[in-house]
Amino acid sequence: MALDRFVLGAPGLRPVVLCNSLIYGHSLGVPAESVQLPRLVARARRSGRAGHIGRGLNRWSTVHIADVAELYRLAVEQAEAGAFCFVENGESAFRDMADAIGEALHLGPAVSLPAETAIAEWGRAHAVFSLGSNSRVRGKRARSRFGWTPRHGSAVEWIRHDLAAA
């Protein structure tokens, strides 16, 4: 993207771009939330049912916030100027994540939301680009360049076991 090229070309700096995927996990410090899962959880709590758009087969690469933080630490210490890395540790389908939200919140299986309902609920940009699309990348370069070894597993398992702890 143009912004990535602009950052990577910054003179007199050691620019690095770490391109995150769907980040999950509880904030490690200052209260903060990512984009996708908090919207799905808030809707589930408000409506009493977890939901996904359409068949929920769309997939996103995922990564736990603690693993993201570790990669940023490694990048600050080791990155050469111009490094660009995707950040991921697996991927999940939105139907599986929505079902796990329903399970974690004791709401039962997720329901399918028509696109029109999703757009009315979250706005077109979030419904189409954040919750109704695919975003699949591989973090091979982050692993090979920095020796990054993510420790957290599946986003679906984290939702099932740790979501309600917040």
Residues in the chain with pLDDT values less than 70: 165-166
Contact by Cβ (8 Å): 59, 144: no
Task: Round to whole Å and give the CA distance between 33 and 19.
Answer: 17
* Residue 166 pLDDT: 57
Identify the three-state secondary structure at position 13: coil
* Residue 10 pLDDT: 83
Identify the three-state secondary structure at position 64: strand
* Residue 153 pLDDT: 87
Tokens 């309600």 label which residue? 164
pTM of the predicted model, to two decimals? 0.90
pLDDT tens, 23-67?
999 888 877 778 899 999 999 999 999 999 999 999 999 999 999
Q: Which of 110, 70, 63 is nearest to 89 (CA)?
A: 63
* Residue 165 pLDDT: 67
Structure tokens at 155: 């986003």
* Residue 30 pLDDT: 79
CA angle centred on 39, ends 35 and 40, rounded to 5°: 120
The structural domains of the chain, ordered by start, are 17-25+34-165 (3.40.50.720)
